[in-house]
Structure 1
């Protein structure tokens, strides 16, 4: 593994790093890639967004003006870093789009337990 990527992953630098249990990339593989000049680098494997039905129970929420997904995750799931669970429950890859329009109905998973398959497809 590239030494700098390895150190970054081990240190869990930044929020949502792959080593944090709340990260959607927790447990994701790192894969090798060889550049044209022969230098090998590592990267995080692509995460396949699971089907929204992976969350067995959800509740509805009507977006209010000024809502942010991280704040909704903190309020409903107890951790702002779990915003990605709300994205998954709504089949959205754009967190900002979910709260862009006041009145939009958004599904919120009822539990902060991460179901099997939610992280890496």
Structure 2
């Protein structure tokens, strides 16, 4: 059975939109490939992540028992879906890498936003 939403995209009934600005995929182009069965498959191109030192540090915080990265992101950066910012800034591929009790997590400004020490 064909996915009905994908079928609507392919038929042009529903227009595919870019990712919202807060998404880690915002601004990335999409490409298509034709599957062996003839279906056209749309995918997002690869996202290259900057090195952690490209982010300006604001503060550090220590993870407590049972804390998840989305909770930390909600509390400390105001957006639970922004957990991926913390992953990028701390060089983590998976959120679980930062969810270790006692782990110090670096809180940063978004990439490209200079910190106070960089403005001098």
Whether TM exceeds 0.5 here: the answer is yes
> Which blocks of at least 5 consecutive residues in structure 2 are unaligned?
1-6, 113-120
Aligned-pair CA distance for 1:23: 0.7
Structure 1 residue runs without a partner (length 5+): 11-17, 117-121
Residue of structure 1 in register with 2:49 after alignment: 49
Higher alpha-carbon Rg: 2
Distance in 1 between residues matched to 2:24 and 2:8, nearest whole Å: 23
Query: Normalising by the residue count of structure 2, what TM-score does the alignment of the two structures yield?
Result: 0.74
Cα distance change on mapping 1:4 and 1:95 into 2, 3 Å: same
Instruction: Name 2:94's counterpart in structure 1.
Output: 94
Aligned length: 105
Deviation at 1:47, TM superposition (A): 1.3
Indicate the RMSD between aligned Cα atoms, in angstroms: 2.4
TM-score for the superposition, normalised by structure 1: 0.74
Aligned equivalent of 1:4: 9
In 1, distance between residues paired with 2:93 and 2:76? 19
Secondary structure of 2:43 counterpart: strand
Residues 70-96 of structure 1 show CA distances to partners (whole Å, capped at 9, x for unaligned) of 111111111111111100111001002
The verdict on how the C-alpha distance between 1:20 and 1:65 changes in structure 2, with shifts beyond 3 A counting, is same
Q: How far is the alpha carbon of 1:8 from its aligned partner?
A: 7.7
3-state SS in 1 of match to 2:33: strand
Distance of 1:8 and 1:66 partners within structure 2: 41
Q: CA deviation at 1:32?
A: 1.1
Distance across 2 between alignment mates of 1:62 and 1:115: 22
Moved over 3 A (4+): 5-9
Greater RCO structure (CA 8 Å; 6+ sep): 1
Partner of 1:107: 106
